[in-house]
Amino acid sequence: MLPPLAEPGGPRRTDLELVRDFVRGEPAGASPSYHIEGGLLVGGSSIPLALRIGEGSVLARRDVPEGVLALRTLAEEVLVTEGLSLLDEDTPLGIPAGIQLAGLRVATWDLWGVDIEQAYAYLRQAVVGSDPTFATDEGPGLTLDQLFGEPPLEGWG
């Protein structure tokens, strides 16, 4: 998040254009009511509203303060016009993803996306961090055989 009184970077746009560009992956920009910080859509000057977790996949924050409900509503309307659907309301993996990507420990999130399988793959990746094998069925990485070049000793495992 930007420090207090810092000006967001990127081109200036209308609110509608900025939210649309956020969904499409634009990494920066500002409008009268929003700004983009990487994969984070911020409402007002400091309230995270949405996280772009992958192409066509967004976590939209549910528990926003009353003063920014209209901003959340506009953002959700743009999600719909961009072809995204609400896939999982109050998704359980939203909390750890919000901690990882936005630093919000108590926020709740809705999962929006174009394809449910792909959206969940992006969400799992957001939760586990940078190692993509944790988000798949392949496991966390190399097996001991691959790592050490020999099978484990008999009686072990």
- Comparing CA positions, the residue from 36, 31, 32, 26 lying closest to residue 1 is 36
pLDDT of res. 22: 96
pLDDT, tens digit (0-9, with 9 covering 90-100), for 60-98? 999 999 999 999 999 999 999 999 999 999 999 999 999
The pTM score is 0.78
